[in-house]
């Protein structure tokens, strides 16, 4: 069945460092891919999405490219800030399935 | 503003008690979902509903029940059969089930007294 595998954390970075959080997926057909962010004690917020191969989703300096050949959707940011400290979830929604599939989440802490 | 409202934000359950978590959306979405999140873990699907008067079990439905009598509302009842109910519960909705963005409420934290 469909699934998402996400890089385990926690990840700790200094401010202005480069961020990569790896995400790979398994799916039949052509799923849509998402990154969500969760701040402490809150629900999930959509960060970015991509709906087809080679699409690049971007928002707030974060980017991820839908790579069908490597079945990946890695999250990147060139220069992280303390305010980026949160848990990040990779997710998949299939085109024939009836569920969303979430990764286990990666906790990011950015220190000044 | 359109969105998803979960209430209460914090809820306490006594032994043997059923409790109901509220989820309301004014986004005119057909599909709604309930997830459970345990500390340091990902989301696990409890129930989902694609349309009014219809719902399906997710991966961990035992000890929970839902109803979908109105499009806007998808309450979750945590029954006394759920022996380990302490968790953070998240409600979400989407236009439809396949390939659509899910929008989340702020969550309800349930604890056992």
Residues A40-93: tens digit of each pLDDT: 888 999 999 999 999 999 999 999 999 999 999 999 999 999 999 999 999 998
pLDDT score of A96: 64
Instruction: Return the pLDDT at A97.
Output: 57
Q: Does B85 touch chain A (CB under 8 A)?
A: no
Whether B64 contacts chain A with CB within 8 A? no
Predicted local distance difference test score (pLDDT) of residue B83: 87
**Alpha carbons B54 and B74: distance in angstroms, whole number:** 11
pLDDT on residue A30: 84
Residues of chain B with pLDDT under 70: 1, 97-99
Which residues of chain B make contact with A97, given a CB cutoff of 8 A?
97-98
Interface contact flag, A102 B43, Cβ < 8 Å: yes
Full DSSP string of A22-58: -EEEE-SS--EEEEEEE-TTS-EEEEEEE-STT-EEE
């Amino acid at each position: 069945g469909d699934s998402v595998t996400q890089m385990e954390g926690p990840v700790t970075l200094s401010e202005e460092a480069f961020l990569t959080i790896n995400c790979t997926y398994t799916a039949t057909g052509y799923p849509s891919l998402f990154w969500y962010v969760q701040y402490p004690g809150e629900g999930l917020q959509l960060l970015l999405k991509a709906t087809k191969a080679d699409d690049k989703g971007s928002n707030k300096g974060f980017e991820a490219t839908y790579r069908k050949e490597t079945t990946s959707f890695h999250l990147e940011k060139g220069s992280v800030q303390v305010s980026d400290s949160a848990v990040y979830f990779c997710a998949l929604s299939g085109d024939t399935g009836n569920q969303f599939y979430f990764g286990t989440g990666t906790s990011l802490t950015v220190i000044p | 503003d359109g969105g998803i409202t979960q209430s209460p934000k914090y809820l306490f359950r006594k032994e043997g008690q059923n409790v109901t978590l509220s989820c309301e959306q004014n986004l005119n979405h057909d599909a709604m979902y309930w997830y459970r999140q345990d500390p340091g873990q990902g989301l696990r699907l409890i129930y989902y509903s694609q349309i009014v008067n219809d719902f399906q079990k997710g991966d961990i439905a035992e000890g929970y029940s839902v109803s979908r009598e109105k499009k806007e509302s998808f309450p979750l009842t945590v029954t006394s059969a759920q022996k380990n109910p302490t968790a953070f519960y998240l409600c979400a909705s989407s236009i439809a089930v396949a390939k659509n963005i899910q929008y989340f409420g702020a969550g309800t934290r349930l604890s056992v007294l």
